[in-house]
Structure 1
Amino acid sequence: MQTEPQQKAELKKSCVNCGAELLYAPGTTELQCEYCNYTQEIPLTESSFEELELKAYLDSVGSQSHSEAITMLQCKNCGATQHIEENYKSLHCVYCSSPLVIEDATKEEWILPGAVLPFQMTQDKAHQVFQKWVSGLWWAPNKLKKASLDPQNTKGLYAPYWTFDAQLYANYTGQRGDYYYVSVPYTTTVNGKTVTRMRQERRTRWTPVSGNISGFVDDTLIKASKQKSGAIPQMVARWNLKELKPFDSSYLAGFVTEKYTIPLQEGHIESNKEARKIAERWACRDIGGDTQRISSLNMKLTDETFKHILLPVYISAYRYKNKRYNFFVNGQTGAISGQRPYSFWKIFFFVLFILTIIGVIIFITNQ
């Protein structure tokens, strides 16, 4: 039962001209040979993404019907679990750059991705975005800017996420607040005399309310992996999920794929928390007025489905004074964020320069 899915995920495609392995060309629907530039179109499927019934998986009924075994390497330093294609030249962790030992590779089961968001920019383009960002950093150590010159430090990763869909129903009780204003006297001093004046103060008129809300919660995005450090920043982790493609392993060729380490059950709990926030927003909108209070909210989710999806991000890891820093570039939008070190000496000499200028001004002023 596992043979066919395994071939679907790990089958390597070779160039018909020179025999080299074909790699996915970001921003296209093609595989490309990096040696002779031969291209091969990735077959487009008219089928939509398959939403898997959540309850069956939580009850372990459907756990094998959409799963497969893949080769995984776990970083012993930061804990990231990665599937690295045979063609990937540098066997180093994308998060912390620690060496990965190929002999430690193991076969692990994973829920087959239902969809993938292909990379829309090349490694060179992502590296240019990273270089531009680094060059604009104040007080950055010179070694950081030198490190940014090597494109090999920027690596493409497909990060795993869960998405959850559900029909949401909820009833609520609370209060609707409507603002009104009253004139309030106050005293002040004008030309040495105490005078009384009026000012407007805002008050809130509260009215008890109750009601019910319903709607479809679509694609609640929950991260499916965790590391000791190096988490993808929130401002980078924003993708247009309307551009998702039905899963095809061709899109993974030449990139690292991270296996989910947050199980489906845990992801479902997080999705329920997000669904409750959505229900609270809907309830406030339904209550209306200028402000709202929610006393109770009873929520129910039905027809729950989920997908395992892969989303693109470029990562650059850099060590400075025995501390690791990560920089992230969204592989679809180009958004960038990350941690950065500061140069003590650059800051020291700048402060010294400012103090010198101030000292010179004081000296000239006192002459």
Structure 2
Amino acid sequence: MDTLICKGCGASLTYAAGLQALQCEYCDAVTEIARVAPVAATTAQLLIPMTIEDNALAYAVLHHLAANDEIPDDMVERAELSVNRFYLPCFAFDGSYNATWTASFGYNRTDTYTDHVKRTVDGKSERVPVTKTRAVVDWRPVSGQDAGNFVLLGYGGSGVAPNALLLLERLRNLQTATPFDVGFISGVDTHPYTLAAKEAYALHTEARVGKLVETSVKHHAQGNVQRDWHWNASTRWDASPMYVPMGHVVIAYGGKQYNVWADGTNAANLVSDALPANRAKGKYISRGMWLPIVALLALMFTGLASASFFYEMKLERLAAVGAVWILSAWRDARYLRRSQQVRQSALAKRAQRYAQPAATPAPPLPSSGPDLLSLAMSLLSAIIVCVLLYKLVTDPAAPPAALAAGAAPAAAAIAPVSAPVKPVRLLSPIMVAANAQDWATVRTLTAKTTSPAPVSKADKAASAAALARGAKALLNKDNGAAITAFEAALEANSANMDARSKLGAALIGAGDHERARRVLGELVAAAPGHADGWRNLAEAAALSGMRGEADASLRMLLHLSKDRKRTTEALKKRAASGEPDQFSEAVARVVKPGAKKSRG
């Protein structure tokens, strides 16, 4: 429904489309309804001349099929082609745009901060400050302007498949357009215009202009990351009706039809429907993959089921699996090469029918019989896999000794023992004398010391600094840091006996009692008069189960102590504390509790 104004009284008149006049119900005046003059059909102003013939277009499609490894091998030979050339009604939109944009640009940086984490030390939970780093993005708001020009084609007709319109986006020869002349379209179909310029722009061009503006705006991006892109763009354009040449080829193969559309000036610029798949090739390659997959899975399963995975990965087995994979790849490559030769040979034959130059020289057509070399490779692969499977089943499994690093194969023949045997370590002469309480001999042996090698002042200073760091870490019960610091102190000055003694204490705290025994044994051997060394060695030896060594070390500690009473009381207090470890037992054995005096 629409409205008019009555010429007699000015009242509103309502009418429906199709009426030619209307009488007012108030004043009976008759008002004529104006007729809209028909719009003249759009006529092309420009035209891109068609430069490709039917035969060349058909041959270009065959060449496209011959280069496709995914289609059936006989499609080039058996496909029937129907060629049609026509002019497509289009509009050439010559325009410009202006855009105002805003965004946020992010710049990465590393931020250092202190966090408090919960750690358990000696059974107590503490919150410890830890320095951490994190990646931070600094965001900066940015704005700007952008402008540019565009020349795009928009389809002005109807009835053409969407795939064909992709060619308009790839057309690069607009500069060859000439003023329209009816002589160019003689003998060639011309599709009519069914859309006005605004409709063609809205349907087929506006979205592409939007993508063009987006790409141009985002070229202004800076920083490491961007976000919050917003822009407003205004466009202005002029439309010129233009005929664009196009070719359409229908391929009939296997009872089905497939469409191909090509640029009328360059047949290499084409698009097509989804073509049929070469199922024979897929089955051939799938069958060829069974043998290498079976070989690989059998080897992996044997390794996982064995006592030692790497024991099963023998060189000859890995070589066998690799050989099967290489033969499979070689066999597939031969099949693809033969398939390509079949298509190229068919293309060379059909080129003569379309009066087109064939490939020079024409590829030879492979024999129609089976590929004997491929059959031989398949047979060889099967033999290798069978031998490999037989070896995996019949070869003895990995011995348990293979799990230990550096164990010899003959170790499996050694009879197992019921319990691990600790290495026997003989006591040093000074320890034997201490256990025998032969203090004269102890004094004689203690006096025999060797002079340490000279050490520079710089090394002494470095060793002292490392010793101080280690002592602080040991006080904080950070045994790992203490061990590292004491090792650095000894590396700078191997004669730093205090560092060696504290290294032994840190190793005891870390639970490495055997290494502590070695370190402290070297200390008391080089410096028999070092009381703290004997005390730490007594604890390390006791915790390692070396009773004689622990007892001798405790006796040496008491013998060398400057305040024997205080040392004895400290050891008695340790023995009476009831801690269930070997060191308390050793103290109880060596330091006897004093007898109580009777009253009276």
2:275 paired with 1:340:
yes
CA distance in 2, matches of 1:197, 1:125: 73
Cα pair 2:167 2:262 within 8 Å, conserved: no
Shift of 1:305: 1.4
Shift of 1:306: 0.6
Shift of 1:258: 2.7
Where does residue 41 of structure 1 map in the other structure? none
2:386 paired with 1:363:
yes
Describe the shift of the 1:366–1:316 C-alpha distance in structure 2 as closer, same or farther (beyond 3 A).
same
SS of 1:254's equivalent? coil
CA distance in 1, matches of 2:232, 2:38: 29
2:49 paired with 1:121:
no
SS of 2:210's equivalent? helix
> 1:255-293 CA distances to partner (integer Å, 9 max, x unpaired)?
232334555333222433333333333333346555544
SS of 1:219's equivalent? strand
Describe the shift of the 1:210–1:230 C-alpha distance in structure 2 as closer, same or farther (beyond 3 A).
closer
> 1:59-105 CA distances to partner (integer Å, 9 max, x unpaired)?
x99943xx3xxxxxxxxxxxxxxxxxxxxxxxxxxxxxxxxxxxxxx
Aligned 1:232-251 pairs, distance under 5 A: 232=164, 234=166, 237-240=169-172, 241-251=174-184
Give the TM-score normalised by structure 1. 0.54
2:142 paired with 1:213:
no
2:117 paired with 1:182:
no
| 1:140 maps to which of 47, 71, 74 | 71
CA distance in 2, matches of 1:133, 1:311: 22
CA distance in 2, matches of 1:134, 1:197: 64
- Equivalent position amino acid for 1:166 in 2: G
Cα pair 2:155 2:165 within 8 Å, conserved: no
Deviates more, 1:355-364 or 1:293-302: 355-364
Where does residue 163 of structure 2 map in the other structure? 231
CA distance in 1, matches of 2:226, 2:275: 41
Aligned 1:1-367 pairs, distance under 5 A: 63-64=39-40, 67=41, 111-141=42-72, 144-148=75-79, 153-175=82-104, 177-182=105-110, 204-215=137-148, 217-227=149-159, 229=161, 231-232=163-164, 234=166, 237-240=169-172, 241-261=174-194, 263-270=196-203, 271-286=205-220, 288-289=222-223, 291-302=225-236, 304-321=237-254, 323-333=256-266, 334-338=268-272, 339-349=274-284, 351-352=286-287, 355=290, 357=378, 359=382, 361-363=384-386, 365-366=388-389
CA distance in 1, matches of 2:193, 2:133: 59
- Equivalent position amino acid for 1:221 in 2: L
Describe the shift of the 1:199–1:121 C-alpha distance in structure 2 as closer, same or farther (beyond 3 A).
farther
Shift of 1:134: 1.2
SS of 2:198's equivalent? helix
Describe the shift of the 1:166–1:335 C-alpha distance in structure 2 as closer, same or farther (beyond 3 A).
closer
CA distance in 1, matches of 2:37, 2:232: 29
- Equivalent position amino acid for 1:281 in 2: T
Q: Which runs of 5+ in 1 are unaligned?
A: 1-59, 68-110, 186-195
Shift of 1:155: 2.6
> 1:274-333 CA distances to partner (integer Å, 9 max, x unpaired)?
33333333333346555544543232234x311222222322112445543112332223
CA distance in 1, matches of 2:100, 2:228: 11
Cα pair 2:153 2:169 within 8 Å, conserved: no
> 1:141-183 CA distances to partner (integer Å, 9 max, x unpaired)?
46632354x6x623323223222233423323322x2533427
Shift of 1:131: 1.6
CA distance in 2, matches of 1:219, 1:162: 10
Task: Among all aligned residue pairs of Structure 1 and Structure 2, give the percentage whose two residues are the same amino acid.
Answer: 17
Structure richer in helix, relative to its length: 2
CA distance in 1, matches of 2:290, 2:188: 50
- Equivalent position amino acid for 2:217 in 1: A
CA distance in 1, matches of 2:133, 2:50: 59
Describe the shift of the 1:200–1:256 C-alpha distance in structure 2 as closer, same or farther (beyond 3 A).
farther
- Equivalent position amino acid for 1:280 in 2: E
Structure richer in strand, relative to its length: 1
> 1:194-250 CA distances to partner (integer Å, 9 max, x unpaired)?
xx999995x5432212333334x3322223345484622736851221222222222
The Cα RMSD (Å) is 3.8
- State the number of aligned residues: 247
Q: Which has the larger radius of gyration?
A: 2
SS of 1:282's equivalent? helix
Q: Which runs of 5+ in 2 are unaligned?
A: 1-35, 114-129, 292-377, 391-600
